[in-house]
Amino acid sequence: MYDTEKEIEKVVLIGIDYNNEYDAESCLDELYDLAKTAGAVCVGRMLQKREGVHHGHYFGKGKLEELKAYIKEVNATGIICDDELTANQIKNMEKILETKVMNRTLLILDIFASRAHSAEGKVQVELAQLRYNLSHLTGQGRSLSRLGGGIGTRGPGEKKLETDRRRIADRISELNKELKEIERHRQVLREKRIKNKIPVIALAGYTNAGKSTLMNTLTHAGVLAEDKLFATLDTTTRKIKLPSGAQYLFTDTVGFIQKLPHSLIKAFKSTLEEVKYADIILHIVDSSNSSREQHIKVVYETLEELGCNEKPVITVFNKIDKDETVMPLPSDIRAITTQPVSAKKETGISELLEKIEETVKSFKKSIKILIPYSKGNMVSFVHGNCEIINSDNREDGFFFDIYADNETYKRLEEFILKETV
């Protein structure tokens, strides 16, 4: 008989209060949620007020000794640091604290690894993990170094370390090739959507804001929706048809978070670029979260980093049915319009769809056109490229009341001029 039950990690959360743009306590609260999502039990937390991180071991030496005693007191099996740590800092801290040392990036990567299900998601996660491992590889110190000159410096050097680096670099190269092939396939799909003139609406927002729940409510996509951070990583796209007859593609994307490591943005660039190629961004905000204004700021900063700051945004204040929601809701001057909803109870959904349709139409021009029955090719063109509001078969041809983008509108104008000459 073998005991296969997974040992639950008991961790202490630590961070530094820099007095910068991030509130240290709220960051530790978020780190608590991340640790809980990863399956760890938080048995304590500790903050130190400092002007910056100690380059050798994150905390100051005095605070580190205090942390060591606290770890023994609460019987913790490890610590999780709210900031990125260098390989040297991890090594020094593990030596002093005599316990496992983790950081925010490692924690997020662990969650991503358990959440990725699609081939693309798995490639992206492995790529991010390997890049992290490559930057944190360390050898066995000076004893094996062969980089100097003179007697005692000749030999194979840190052979194991260099072999590990080469293997990781080779695997990264393979994964990059796979990812480029996936990106090529995704680009083909994007070009097809552009050709079909179907507006694309991308759902973006802070993690656990309710994007997947809203996606399911709008499109019945069946996306996994849980009250956890990063419940879904894989991009889902679904088509819906509104009562007006208009068709739209809705795309769900991975959630954003404070201090989202740059390496993760780079690894998930192809997924996040769905936002870049969308016609409208639905910015989902958890209105019941006390840090909602900070979350709005983080989302816009991430969108700017992705080059999406010029995209039209509709801000959706979700979870208005929760008792924790404080009124009035915050203003969002960057958004075209806002809409309070409860994706779970389907409150405000019809109003949201109306605002989406109004916004899409605002980018198009209205035109009424009569096409002779002999011009069947133009009838096909209208059906394939325009949003038809009304149509009628008249004595002298097909009548259409339509919305068209600028390019289509110009072509229709040219056709009208030819017919009237």
Mean pLDDT calculated for residue range 194-215: 83
pLDDT computed for residue 144 by the predictor: 41
CA dist 235 → 40, 119, 204, 400 (Å): 27, 11, 11, 36
Same domain for 235 and 86: no
Token representation of residue 46: 């500790």
- Let me know: does 215 contact 203? Beta carbons within 8 Å: yes
Regarding whether 223 and 342 lie in a shared domain, the answer is yes
Do residue 232 and residue 326 come from a single domain? yes
Residue 153 lies in a domain: no
Cβ distance 358 to 339 under 8 Å? Answer: no
Q: What is the dihedral of CA 321, 324, 329, 330, to 10 degrees?
A: -140
Check whether 26 has a pLDDT greater than 70. Answer: yes
Phi-psi category of residue 82: left, alpha or beta, with phi > 0 → left and psi -120 to 50 → alpha: alpha
pLDDT reported for residue 147:
42
Average the pLDDT over each of 235-239, 271-275, 304-308 and give the range with the smallest value: 271-275
Of 315, 341, 362, the last residue of a domain is 362
Quote the pLDDT of residue 183. Answer: 76
pLDDT at residue number 231: 57
**Three-state secondary structure call for residue 388:** strand
Inside any domain, residue 202: yes
Q: Is residue 172 part of a domain?
A: yes
266 and 325 inside one domain: yes
For residue 10, what pLDDT is reported?
A: 92
For tokens 């929706």, name the residue. 225
225 has a pLDDT exceeding 80: no
What's the rounded Cα separation, in Å, for the pair 364 and 357?
11
Token pair 């801000």 is found at 315
Q: What is the pLDDT of residue 270?
A: 61
Residue 258 above 90 pLDDT? no
Name the E strands within 377-421: 387-394, 397-404
| Higher per-residue confidence, 29 vs 197 | 29
pLDDT of residue 262: 67
Q: Are 300 and 277 in contact (CB under 8 A)?
A: no
Residue 146 lies in a domain: no
Integer angstrom CA distances of residue 5 from 36, 76, 100, 191: 18, 19, 20, 49
Average pLDDT, the chain: 82
Q: Model confidence over 43-101: pLDDT tens digits?
A: 999 999 888 888 888 998 899 999 999 999 999 999 999 988 888 999 999 999 999 99
Q: Sorting pLDDT into bands at 50, 70 and 90, what band is 362?
A: confident
Say if residue 275 is in the same domain as residue 393: no
Same-domain pairing of 224 and 337: yes
Instruction: Concatenate the DSSP letters of all residues of 172-237 into one string.
Output: HHHHHHHHHHHHHHHHHHHHHHHHHT--EEEEEEBTTSSHHHHHHHHH-------SSTT---S-EE
3-class SS of residue 241:
strand
Query: Token digits for 351?
Result: 């109003």
Whether residues 357 and 369 share a domain: the answer is no
Identify the residue with better confidence: 333 or 24. 333
Per residue in 134-145, pLDDT (tens digit) is 877 764 444 444
Q: Which two tokens stand for residue 22?
A: 């991030």
% of the chain surpassing 90 pLDDT: 25
- Cis previous bond, 328, omega within 30: yes
DSSP state of 22: S
Closest CA to 270 of 135, 176, 134: 176
What's the mean pLDDT in 399-405? 86
- The mean pLDDT of 265-294, rounded to a whole number, is 81
Q: Which CATH number belongs to the domain containing residue 279 in this structure?
A: 3.40.50.300
Q: Which of 110-119, 221-230, 267-276 is predicted with the least confidence, judged by mean pLDDT?
A: 221-230
Q: Give 146-202 pLDDT, tens digit per residue.
A: 344 444 444 454 567 777 888 888 888 898 888 888 778 777 776 766 666 678 899
Q: 143 in a domain, yes or no? A: no
Q: What is the CATH number of the domain that holds 411?
A: 3.30.70
Number of compact structural domains in the chain: 4
If one compares 124 and 98, the residue with the highest pLDDT of the two is 98
217 and 323 together in one domain: yes
Residues 236 and 354 in one domain: yes
Q: What is the pTM of this model?
A: 0.74
10-17 vs 41-49, strand pairing mode: parallel
pLDDT at 290: 87
> 212 and 263 in one domain?
yes
- Looking at the chain, the whole-number percentage of residues with pLDDT higher than 70 is 84
Please give the Cα distance from 362 to 355 (Å, whole number).
10
Residue 345 counted as domain residue? yes
Two tokens, residue 344: 């779970």
Burial zone of 195 (CB within 10 Å; 0-12 exposed, 13-18 middle, 19+ buried): exposed
Residue 192 included in any domain = no
Mean local confidence (pLDDT), 92-118 = 86
224 pLDDT above the threshold of 60: no
Q: Are residues 64 and 167 in the same domain?
A: no
Question: DSSP assignment, residue 307?
Answer: T
* Residue 251, domain member (yes or no): yes
Q: Residues with Cβ < 8 Å from 262, sequence gap 6 or more?
A: none
Q: What CATH number is given to the structural domain containing 87?
A: 3.40.50.11060
DSSP assignment letter at 59: S
Pick 267 or 169 by higher pLDDT.
Answer: 169
Domain with 132, as residue range(s), is 117-137+161-187
Query: Which of 112-116, 327-331, 358-362, 378-382 has the weakest average pLDDT?
Result: 112-116
Same domain, 69 and 173: no
> What is the token pair recorded at 372?
């002779």
